Amino acid sequence: MKFFVDTAVIDDIRELNDYGLLDGVTTNPSLIAKSGRDFKEVIAEICKLVDGPVSAEVAAMNFDGMVAEGEYLAKIADNVVIKLPLTLEGLKACRHFTGKGIKTNVTLCFSANQALLAAKAGATYISPFIGRLDDLSIDGMELIHEIREIYDNYGFGTNILAASIRSANHVKEAALAGADVATIPPGVIKGLANHVLTEKGLDQFAKDWAATGQSIL
């Protein structure tokens, strides 16, 4: 499974990229607003920092506006992916960009039927929001399973990008369900490496090594 980080904080992206853990980045208007920076400047900086796909979301709600904004954003860098809402206008724009060879990420997916429409529109990525469904006491992970089965049934090439990830368990379950990508907050990505037994084992190794009085270098 590929890991995208879901943030607009450059320092977090740089840190994870330096660890070699990043395959791409997703942003959205809320994340950009939290950064307090100019949207286009942030996207351009991220694209220079990361080789993989960088999702940049349009603000327009109608087809013409989405096309105008998306085509502008696509010119920022070759690795920009145009993020579009899962509406009829958004799906129409998705088909437009797909026809021009521009990658798309159709976002705010909450049902298998919506994901089916996105695949038929030629979306590069579909972003089902796991955590927001869980918030409504609906099993968000079941949606990943449903989309995976539908896409496999018909050979759709759209990548399932598990979004609204809240925990390490979400990451594990999305991987087991067959998601192609998970877009994850920085803290959750770093937390995947943590385990109490790993820490306990390292502490014991350090004590045993110190007792030998030796040095490797």
Is the distance from CB of 143 to CB of 111 less than 8 angstroms? Answer: yes
Q: What are phi and psi of 112, to 5 degrees?
A: -65, -35
Q: Catalytic site residue 83?
A: yes
Element containing residue 55 per DSSP (H, E): strand 54-57
Nearest-angstrom CA–CA distance, 84 and 31: 16
Is the distance from CB of 144 to CB of 128 less than 8 angstroms? Answer: yes
Q: Which of 2, 83, 92, 190 is catalytic?
A: 83
What torsion, rounded to 10 degrees, do the Cα atoms 72, 75, 79, 84 define?
10
Catalytic residue numbers read 83
